[in-house]
Amino acid sequence: AFEPRPDVPADPVDALHAVFGFNAFRGVQDQVVARVLDRRSTLAVMPTGAGKSLTYQLPAVMLEGTCVVVSPLIALMHDQLRSARANGIRAATLTSVDTDREATLAKFRAGALDLLYVAPERASQPHFRELLSRARISLFAIDEAHCVSEWGHDFRPDYRLLRPLMDAFAEVPRLALTATADRHTRADILEQLGIPADGLIVAGFDRPNIRYAITPRDNPLRQLKQIMAENPGPGIVYAPTRAQVERLAEQLGAQGRRVLPYHAGLAADVRAANQAAFVASEDMVMVATVAFGMGIDKPDVRFVAHAALPKSIEGYYQETGRAGRDGDPSVAVLLWGADDFVRARQRLGELDESRIVGERARLDALAGLVETAGCRRAVLLRHFGEDPPASCGNCDNCLSPPSSTDATELARKLLSAVYRTGQSYGFGHLEKVLTGVSDERVLQRGHDQLSVFGIVTAEDAPLLRALSRALQARGSLIANEHGGLALGGDARAILKGEASVDVILPAKVERGRGR
Ligand code: ADP
Ligand code: ZN
């Protein structure tokens, strides 16, 4: 069932040239294609723009039969369809909006399609399985494969139906593709889709020409104006809500530079016009919600600024990744406030039980990125499973290291307070105990009798909150759904004096200490 097509060059590079006109594979494309041609199931994790589609489209053309592509969105499918057809690939979609169903089915059965795009819910339909069994399938390609995982940020229950379908065609190899998968999600995708662990191929995620900077938001308008002044080239400012997009676009546009808004609430023709103006411009700024940027081809974006915390590290990476596609120096600046985290934690409480754990882990990872005193790029790349050097020389923390202080002793005090109060109290209560505030609750529980009561000095007290966040970011403290803190990770090692803890001095403390 798995045969090369006689009319296409058997060598992948020759076929690449013949079908796409490209001279060479990029990054890990050749590894992925080689595995697929070897009939081995694979999970390819490649950043946006790395050329994922080619890794199934090329084998689809090289092999007899049809590659069935599962894709979560009709709009995505139609984009793919257009570009595949533009390369002379015989492709079709099978969706609820297609009018050429009968023709598509006839071609599919006759083996005259290289690619058939379908939505995941089709997998559960018995007549689809029957249809597949009467055709010749060369490959299952699962696009946006993170949708199969509850750990992923975009879980689609229908993706779980793919496994039983594919198991019915066990001889057909599987190629799962995603741009966004942390370690947890990857392991889950492998398991959910029945791909062996040695089938994981991860492309390099580093974007060395992007300089990352993450800074507290004190005066966003002034901060954004400064970013614009320092970066005269095209830029994107991401804001969380439509109202904020409108307001910021107006305020930033008052400077004379062309600034336009973009969000899903604008009329389609306005959106299209603003997008076209941005793509054509050499100095325009687009203020937008995350609805902006998907599929936009503008290589010379010089800066991406976030006016608030993004949803996840994946989102941050994807959004900042729109800067500097041409390889020239570019910047990514994130302005964040503690209130961003408070709101995000509140949203956690509104979620389904099944999603809370994954979303909390995502938020903790983001906190780790924001609060690190170390290299931002290292945190990002480690998140994507790479093993980067400790310092990159091209992020805010590498360029001007923040002052941090050894807080190991204080951490031991905080952790013992957590332990001695029974690992269920929130930060506020622990702070009172440690600083010796005997309010009603402290007295009622007898916490004023503990050895940790009042052991933190007035000088150290202002560090406690940052320390608690840092310990949560590294997993030494774990918050339950009510904010109660328990020991986790390396907490015991810290308590035993086997691990140390550094904490970035909050600005106020730094001034107070006169450092
Ligand atoms: P992804 O899905 O990973 O975001 P795409 O498949 O859309 O990326 O590819 C991004 C762009 O790179 C496309 O314009 C594609 O034609 C181009 N591309 C992919 N592979 C190659 C290659 N080997 N050589 C040159 N261009 C390539
Ligand atoms: Zn760095």
The 3-state DSSP class for residue 104 equals helix
Would the pLDDT of 470 be above 90?
Answer: no
Would you say residue 5 has pLDDT above 90? no
State yes or no: pLDDT of 211 exceeds 50: yes
Tell the residue number behind the tokens 């916490």, with chain if given. Answer: 447
Q: Which ligand is nearest to the CA of 144?
A: 1
Q: What pLDDT score was predicted for residue 441? A: 95
User: What is the secondary structure of 177-219 as a DSSP string?
Assistant: EES---HHHHHHHHHHHT--GGGEEE-----TTEEEEEEE-SS
What's 267's DSSP letter?
-
What pLDDT is attached to residue 247? 97
Backbone angles phi, psi at 444, to 5 degrees: -55, -45
Compute the average pLDDT of residues 284-311. 92
Q: Separation of 182 CA from ligand 2 center, angstroms?
A: 20
Q: Which atom of ligand 1 is nearest to the CA of 48?
A: 4
pLDDT of residue 511: 41
Strands (E) across 119-272 are located at 137-142, 174-178, 200-202, 210-216, 235-238, 259-262
Q: Ligand 2 centroid to 372 CA: how many Å?
A: 11
Q: What are the CA-CA distances from residue 126 to residues 122, 130, 131, 147 (Å)?
A: 9, 6, 9, 22
CB-based pocket (< 6 A), ligand 1: 22, 25-26, 29, 46, 48-54
Between the ranges 27-41, 284-298, 334-348, 351-365, where is the mean pLDDT highest?
A: 27-41
Q: How far apart are the CA of 198 and the centre of ligand 1, in A?
A: 25
pLDDT 10s digits, 493-511: 999 999 999 888 765 554 4
Which residue out of 17, 26, 33 has the highest number of ligand 1 atoms within 8 Å of its CB and is therefore the one to mutate? 26
Confidence of residue 488 (pLDDT cuts 50, 70, 90): confident
Q: Which of 339 and 173 is assigned the larger pLDDT?
A: 173
Tell me which of 59-68, 242-251, 362-371, 426-435 is least confident.
362-371
Task: Give me ligand 2 centre to Cα 402, in Å.
Answer: 12
| Distance in angstroms (rounded) separating the CA atoms of residues 117 and 81 | 8
Widest distance between CA atoms in the chain: 84
CA distance 260 to 237: 10
Least confident of 22-26, 39-43, 56-60, 473-477: 473-477
Query: Closest residue (by CA) to atom 26 of ligand 1?
Result: 22
Atom of ligand 1 nearest to the CA of 20: 16
Q: How confident is the model at residue 222 (pLDDT cuts 50, 70, 90)?
A: very high
pLDDT-derived band at 158 (thresholds 50, 70, 90) equals very high
Which atom, in ligand 1's list, is nearest to the CA of 83?
16
pLDDT band at 1, cuts 50/70/90?
very low
pLDDT exceeds 90 at position 216? no
Per-residue pLDDT at 468: 87
Question: How do residues 77-116 score in pLDDT, each as one tens digit?
Answer: 998 999 999 999 999 999 888 889 999 999 999 999 999 9
Nearest CA to ligand 1 atom 20: 51
The stretch 177-205 carries a mean pLDDT of 91
**Who has greater pLDDT, 218 or 479?**
218
Question: Residues 173-179: what's their mean pLDDT?
Answer: 96
In this structure, the residue with its CA closest to atom 12 of ligand 1 is 51
- CA distance linking residue 415 with residue 429, whole number of Å: 13
User: pTM score, two decimals?
Assistant: 0.68
**What are the pLDDT digits (tens) for 348-379?**
888 888 778 778 878 888 988 998 888 999 99
Cα of 236 to ligand 1 centre, how many Å?
22
For residue 138, pLDDT over 70 is answered with yes
Both tokens of residue 436?
Answer: 């010796």
Residue range 385-398: mean pLDDT, rounded = 90
Averaged pLDDT, 294-322:
92
User: Tokens 């065609």 — which residue?
Assistant: 169
Residue 44 vs residue 180, higher pLDDT: 44
The confidence band for 344, taking pLDDT boundaries of 50, 70 and 90, is: confident
Q: How far is Cα 482 from Cα 464, in angstroms, rounded to an integer?
A: 19
In order, the DSSP letters of 363-377 are: HHHHHHHHH-SS-HH
- Name the residue at shortest CA distance from atom 25 of ligand 1: 22
CB atoms within 10 A of CB 227: 20
pLDDT of 513 strictly over 70: no
Distance in angstroms (rounded) separating the CA atoms of residues 324 and 433: 50
Q: Which residue has the tokens 């490209």?
A: 22
DSSP string, 492-503: HHHHTTSS--EE
Give, for ligand 1, the residue of 54, 314, 318 to mutate: max count of ligand atoms closer than 8 Å to Cβ. Answer: 54
Q: What is the pLDDT of residue 506?
A: 67
Q: Please tell me the number of Cα atoms within 13 Å of 110 on its side-chain side.
A: 8
CA of 115 to the centre of ligand 2 (A): 42
Q: Calculate Rg over the CA atoms of the chain.
A: 26
Give every strand in the sheet of 303-306, ordered side by side.
Answer: 210-216, 330-336, 303-306, 235-238, 285-288, 259-262
332 CA to centre of ligand 1 in angstroms:
23
* 250 vs 403 pLDDT, higher one: 250
CA of 398 to the centre of ligand 2 (A): 4
| Whole-number pLDDT of residue 514 | 38
Smallest CA separation from ligand 1 atom 13, residue = 51
User: Which pLDDT band holds residue 515 (cuts at 50, 70, 90)?
Assistant: very low
Q: pLDDT digit string (tens) for 243-296?
A: 999 999 999 999 889 999 999 999 999 999 999 999 999 999 999 999 898 778
Q: Which residue has the higher pLDDT, 296 or 235?
A: 235
Q: What is the mean pLDDT of residues 134-160?
A: 91
Query: CA–CA separation, 514 vs 151, rounded Å?
Result: 44
| Mean pLDDT of all residues belonging to the chain | 91
